[in-house]
Structure 1
Amino acid sequence: MATGTETMRALVEADLAAAHGLSQAVGWAHRLDDWRFVHRLGQGFAVTEGERLVGTGMFWPFGGFATLGLVIVAPDRQGAGIGRRLMTGLLEAIGPRTTLLNATDAGAPLYEKLGFRATGIIHQHQGDAFAVPEAPPPDGCRIRPATAADLPAMTALDAAATGLERPLVLSALLGVAEAAILECDGRPVGFAVCRQFGRGRVVGPVVAADADAAKALLAHWMARHHGTFLRVDIPEPTGLGPWLVAAGLPAIAPAITMARGAPPVPRPGARLFGLVNQALG
């Protein structure tokens, strides 16, 4: 699709170095490898002016749902309608699926005009000067490394916590990340994944039955990577914010969770305490 001097087309692997430069230009910490990871799992659009990439946007389908993110417009081209064109193209490609995203304050007004409504808040906690809190696993439980054999249990727990079926995401994470299983009486009841991302490492997703179990999983990774830069993105209702701040992981600018359509309904037995990232949810 062309609009004036701009052309919108599929975002392909050859665009990712320029897309990485675009995210750096707006102050995002994504590495090129972070772009490669999400690009393999989804699809999206690039807006170009001549040979220059000036806009990106991606989505990731999960059955009747999709998450949307990495909507970026070059700083000197913001306000020219590129963001709206990207969103229009993305929503046409997504079709009737319910669409979920995490918005900045600046982006939220556009998304509201396109039919999204706010459903929650995400708080990003990060830093490298944190202490390792005392948060042992519940009685009768242990934390152990995850293996490929744990993928079905992790997928089931993630689906219960999010209402989304994301086996390909979890399988891809096991290929690039460390993962820990919370096992109680020999049965996996929670997990947390830790991988390189942005300025250091991110912990997520974090799935557990309750806040104490989530704290045990987070403390496990805080101990493993003490002194390095660590990030976790938590939904507001988790109650983990004050605990993370007290440990030395302060919150920075929150994101607004938004949905276009009826959001997925989590099932009993597990809750989401940390996101994969703000694009994938």
Structure 2
Amino acid sequence: MPSETETSKRLETYELTIREMTLEDIDKLHELSITVLWPHRPEDWRMLLQVGKGFVGCDPIGRIVASGMWFPIGDHFATIGMVITSPRLQALGGGRWIMRHVMAQCENRDIVLSSTKAGYRLYQSLSFQPVATVFQYQGIATSIDQSRLCVNEGIRQLEANDTESILQLDESAFGTDRSNIIKTILEKSLGSVLVRDNKVIGFALCRKFGRGHVIGPVVAQNSADAISLIAPHVNQHTGNFLRIDTTIQDKAFLDFLNESGMHEFDTVTSMTSKPLTPVNTSFHSFALVSQALA
């Protein structure tokens, strides 16, 4: 029987070949993501290629008709994302073929991915199990009266010498060191931090993405702190498109997102290749970096 990681595959009338993704593919990858109504700009694809690797499936005349990426985090962890095939190719096994190639690169790492509704059955068949729902909130940002927030003192703009504190907080909340990703995000973001007793105890980053800007990651000890960290970014982008992806279901936090003009738009399911060890920390992740990067 042919291997599902073979470099070419016939799917009914499709003869597909697979190869590694390169920077020269970005324009075609952008076209591919548009076909499934994903908002990624060429710049967003370029950033993902800075921190990850991937494969593309090509038809006989070289058009990219499928993609999949993986993002190494240390030696024992990875995320998978940007798995795109047309609905027809998915029905013919194109998504499974791409996923087999990507998973082979991850070797023995624990894997996390965000599954759309269309991809759920595929990932479930590959032994991924659901662990959380990720809620995508987005909309036109509405100004927030920061004087009404529970936490007003200690919030300031991110400074260059905050980097190590940010990396430590992210590792504490996420459960593993992903400084390779966070450093890249920091280069493209403006940030806010919360300082108490001369120590950074929370942060929120905001960068250009898709139709406007996205807030994430956000790490804090509680929803009141997270709200106060996010509010400056809402006010900075008032009248413009803003997005945040979160697993948090705290009522005060979600009420704040709605008041900020960001409303629930869609959900995806966070899935893992094996049960993850619960993170034992007082710090929590209130927003993902992105659905591809977790």
TM-score relative to the length of structure 2: 0.91
Match of 2:209 in 1: 197
Deviates more, 1:26-35 or 1:126-135: 126-135
1:46 matched to 2:56? The reply is: yes
Structure 1 portions without partners, runs of 5+: none
1:16 matched to 2:26? The reply is: yes
Deviates more, 1:241-250 or 1:33-42: 241-250
Across the aligned residues of Structure 1 and Structure 2, the Cα RMSD in angstroms comes to 1.6
Match of 1:62 in 2: 73
- Verify the 8 A CA contact 1:60 1:280 in the aligned structure 2: yes
1:125 matched to 2:148? The reply is: no
* Cα distance in structure 1, aligned partners of 2:282 and 2:141: 33
Alignment: residue pair count:
280
Write the letter of the residue equivalent to 1:110: L
**What percent identity do the matched residue pairs reach?**
33
* Cα distance in structure 2, aligned partners of 1:264 and 1:274: 20
* Cα distance in structure 2, aligned partners of 1:238 and 1:90: 35
Say which SS state the counterpart of residue 50 (structure 2) adopts. helix
Q: Which runs of 4+ in 1 moved over 6 A?
A: none
- Verify the 8 A CA contact 1:122 1:255 in the aligned structure 2: yes
Q: Residues 99-134 of structure 1: CA distance to partner in whole angstroms, max 9, x if unpaired? A: 001111111111011010000101111111534254
* Cα distance in structure 1, aligned partners of 2:128 and 2:198: 42
Write the letter of the residue equivalent to 2:22: V
Match of 2:4 in 1: none
**Greater Rg over alpha carbons, structure:** 2
* Cα distance in structure 2, aligned partners of 1:166 and 1:152: 12
Closer, same or farther in 2 for the Cα pair 1:223/1:38, shift >3 Å? same
1:263 matched to 2:276? The reply is: yes
Say which SS state the counterpart of residue 230 (structure 1) adopts. strand
Question: Structure 1 residue 16: deviation in Å?
Answer: 1.2
Question: Structure 1 residue 137: deviation in Å?
Answer: 6.1
1:226 matched to 2:232? The reply is: no
1:254 matched to 2:267? The reply is: yes
* Cα distance in structure 1, aligned partners of 2:232 and 2:207: 14
- Verify the 8 A CA contact 1:159 1:266 in the aligned structure 2: no
Structure 2 portions without partners, runs of 5+: 1-6
1:26 matched to 2:12? The reply is: no
Question: Structure 1 residue 65: deviation in Å?
Answer: 1.0
Closer, same or farther in 2 for the Cα pair 1:62/1:264, shift >3 Å? farther
- Verify the 8 A CA contact 1:67 1:100 in the aligned structure 2: yes
